[in-house]
């Protein structure tokens, strides 16, 4: 029987330097201070290779414009392609909105930022040349992987009958580092440069949660709900002016075909009528509808009202960091939320909404009235999740909703996937809070996210001049497969091992680490302290979900 050894590697940035430490059951704690100058150099080199980086992308020459038009001409728009102008809130579609291309497109003046950004990404170290990618990873490893840590790690890896799980809690300065690609200094049996991924599994440690300090709060259990339905929020809004999609029509159809055969029937995107906080769209899901789906009894807001669901998968747009980390649903201005609506009248669902719910309604209303023009109503929305009533009035005399925590309004299943831009920014922040952390706080044990901006298939089709290129769609399918697997972390690492093999054998923009190395998983195991006397050493399970298999559930159409 194979034993799993958890090897922890964590770090912190301080004014005196960046400290990293490591330990395991067999390795006593040790630490080193990284070279600050070298740390900045290598992490900046990584940053410049990522789609997130935008500095100086507008400094382009005529030769670069000519090269873009010659080597990467826009492909003809597919008949069912997603339409809509550029979405300023997300860079996934930033420079690939070619739906309106016609015979005059080549004569239009290209946006310098789009030209520079596109060429920098396709020419970057992660894009198409394995030697350049390996050189970058070697440079990173030389600075970020202390020799003592590497020696202890490889000793654990080489121990027979042992599987090593490297749990990383990196310092913010290293938040986007793909640790699984770090070279070990050895070669594989087939002569390749060995990476961490070749010999161990990697996961990111989730932040400390409220349930970790309260033994009475049950820990999530996927085993209890593994056969329950899943929730699918795949581009859960109606595309239109200012609301660009991340998938085109054929890709949405592929998703619909994929989930059609699932048993039990999953929750999929429904319609978003105005009375449910939507815009009357034929396609979409609002936060109010989602709240009703996630609760066993939609009319009750309690700690033990979680509907048995196996997992939730979101595929769409995300932006922001910290409490402002937010994802796009079909919410109109009428939906209650603490984040202001955008210029298109869409209210994005934020991490603050998920954690705080209606607890701080009065505070936000007062702050708005103190700063707004006379007579202007707070942009908070007046449609609330079912089960939330009103409790008196605020200082202005307006009705105030009952105070309910968001983690009871949107209780999350044990596993969640966020296939969107920079959906897991927590590792890059001093205060590790964002949408992933909020989802963990709301009841998840595992959240699959991305370390950096994910490029849509429109980018891949244009970059390799192939209509069939679909790196982003394949990523979303892979995340779904991992969430459904008995061991999600192992499944993610196995998928990445297959991607690494393809990158070695068939290097190109679609097989490059630009997409698959950006996938990450936050893991929050049971860390509660249970006293020996009269306590349950195994802790609680189920997160209030209960036993048994639930039947089909769905987002209703009003």
What CA–CA distance (Å, rounded) separates 329 from 205? 28
Region label for 493, one of left (φ > 0), alpha (ψ between -120 and 50) or beta (otherwise): alpha
Q: Is 177 helix (H, G, I), strand (E, B) or coil?
A: coil
- Among residues 130, 458, 408, the alpha carbon closest in space to that of 296 is found at 408
- Note whether 407 and 302 are same-domain residues: yes
Q: Is residue 172 part of a domain?
A: yes
In a domain, 85, yes or no: no
pTM for the whole structure: 0.88
Residue finishing a domain among 205, 225, 255: 205
Q: Is 59 exposed, middle or buried (0-12, 13-18, 19+ CB in 10 A)?
A: exposed
pLDDT score, position 77: 66
Query: How high is the pLDDT of residue 432?
Result: 87
172 and 303 belong to one structural domain: no
- What is residue 543's DSSP assignment? G
Of 205, 224, 250, the residue at which a domain comes to its end is 205
Q: Considering the domain boundaries, does residue 251 fall inside one?
A: yes
Q: Is residue 402 part of a domain?
A: yes
Strand partners for 523: 205, 446
- Assess whether 375 and 260 both reside in one domain: yes
Q: Are residues 200 and 231 in the same domain?
A: no
Round to whole Å and give the CA distance between 54 and 115. 11
Give the model confidence (pLDDT) of 461-512 as tens digits: 999 898 889 999 999 999 999 999 999 999 999 999 999 999 999 999 999 9
- Same domain as 190, residue 267: no
Residues 172 and 253 placed together within one structural domain of the fold? no
Residues 221 and 147 in one domain: no
- State which H helix or E strand residue 315 sits in: strand 311-315
Residues 6+ apart with CB under 8 A from 351: 322, 323, 324, 325, 326, 433, 434, 435, 437, 438
Q: Is residue 218 located within the same domain as residue 153?
A: no
CA 177 to chain CA centroid, Å, is 15
Q: Is residue 460 part of a domain?
A: yes
Are 317 and 456 part of one and the same domain?
yes
What pLDDT band is residue 116 in, cutting at 50, 70 and 90? confident
The pLDDT-based confidence of 95 (bands split at 50, 70, 90) is very low
| Residue range 54-68: mean pLDDT, rounded | 79
| Alpha-carbon distances of 364 from 100, 231, 369, rounded to whole Å | 41, 31, 9
Same domain, 228 and 241: yes
Question: Looking at the domain assignment, is residue 68 inside a domain?
Answer: no
Residue 475 sits in the same domain as residue 363: yes
Cα–Cα distance measured from residue 146 to residue 149, given in angstroms and rounded to the nearest whole number: 5
Query: Is 422 within a domain?
Result: yes
If asked whether residues 421 and 390 sit together in one domain, one would say yes
Using CA atoms, how far apart are residues 405 and 357, in angstroms rounded to an integer?
5
* pLDDT for residue 530: 61
- If one counts every other C-beta atom within 10 angstroms of the C-beta of residue 448, the result is 27
Question: Does 112 or 121 have the greater pLDDT score?
Answer: 121
pLDDT for the residue numbered 446: 98
- Domain span holding position 471: 210-529+538-544
Number of folded domains in the chain?
A: 2
Domain boundary among 205, 226, 259: 205
């Amino acid at each position: 029987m194979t034993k799993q050894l958890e090897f922890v590697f964590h770090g912190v940035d301080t004014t005196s330097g960046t400290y990293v430490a490591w330990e395991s059951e067999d390795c006593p704690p040790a630490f080193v201070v990284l070279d600050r100058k070298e740390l900045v150099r290598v992490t900046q080199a990584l940053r410049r290779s990522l789609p997130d980086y935008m500095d100086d992308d507008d400094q382009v020459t005529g030769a670069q414009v000519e090269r873009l038009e010659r080597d990467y001409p826009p492909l003809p728009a597919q008949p069912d392609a997603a339409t809509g102008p550029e979405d300023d809130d997300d860079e996934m579609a930033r420079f690939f909105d070619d739906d309106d291309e016609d015979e005059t497109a080549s004569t239009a003046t290209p946006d310098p930022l789009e030209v520079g950004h596109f060429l920098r990404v396709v020419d970057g170290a992660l894009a198409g040349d394995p030697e350049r990618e390996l050189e970058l990873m070697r440079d990173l490893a030389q600075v970020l992987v202390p020799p003592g840590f590497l020696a202890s790690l490889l000793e654990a890896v080489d121990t027979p009958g042992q599987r090593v799980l490297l749990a990383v809690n990196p310092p913010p300065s290293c938040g986007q580092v793909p640790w699984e690609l770090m070279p070990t200094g050895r070669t594989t049996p087939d002569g390749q440069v060995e990476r961490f991924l070749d010999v161990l599994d990697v996961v990111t440690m989730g932040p400390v949660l409220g349930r970790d300090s309260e033994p009475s709060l049950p820990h999530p259990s996927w085993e209890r709900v593994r056969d329950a339905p899943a929730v699918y929020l795949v581009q859960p809004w109606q595309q239109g002016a200012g609301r660009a999609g991340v998938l085109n029509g054929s890709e949405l159809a592929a998703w619909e075909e994929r989930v059609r055969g699932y048993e039990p029937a999953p929750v999929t995107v429904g319609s978003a009528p105005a009375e449910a906080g939507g815009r009357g769209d034929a396609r979409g899901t609002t936060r109010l509808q989602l709240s009703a789906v996630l609760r066993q009894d939609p009319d009750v807001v309690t700690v033990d009202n979680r509907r048995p669901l196996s997992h939730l998968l979101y595929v769409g747009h995300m932006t922001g960091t910290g409490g402002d980390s937010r994802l796009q649903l079909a919410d109109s201005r009428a939906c209650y939320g603490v984040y202001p609506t955008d210029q298109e009248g869409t209210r994005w669902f934020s991490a603050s909404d998920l954690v705080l719910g209606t607890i701080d309604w009065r505070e936000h209303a007062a702050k708005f009235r103190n700063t707004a023009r006379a007579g202007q109503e707070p942009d908070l929305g007046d449609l609330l999740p079912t089960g939330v009533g009103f409790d008196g009035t605020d200082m202005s005399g307006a009705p105030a909703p009952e105070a309910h925590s968001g983690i009871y309004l949107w209780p999350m299943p044990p596993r969640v996937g966020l296939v969107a831009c920079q959906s897991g920014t927590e590792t890059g922040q001093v205060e590790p809070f964002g949408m992933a952390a909020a989802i963990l706080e709301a009841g998840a044990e595992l959240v699959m996210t991305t370390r950096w901006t994910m490029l849509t298939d429109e980018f891949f089709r244009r970059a390799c001049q192939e209509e069939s290129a679909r790196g982003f769609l394949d990523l979303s399918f892979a995340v779904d497969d991992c969430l459904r697997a008995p061991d999600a972390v192992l499944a993610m690492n196995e998928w990445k091992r297959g991607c690494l093999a393809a990158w070695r054998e068939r290097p190109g923009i679609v097989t490059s680490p630009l997409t698959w190395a950006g996938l990450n998983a936050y893991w929050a195991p049971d860390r509660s302290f249970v006293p020996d006397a009269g306590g349950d050493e195994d802790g609680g399970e189920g997160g209030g979900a209960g036993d048994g298999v639930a039947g089909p559930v769905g987002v209703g159409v009003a």
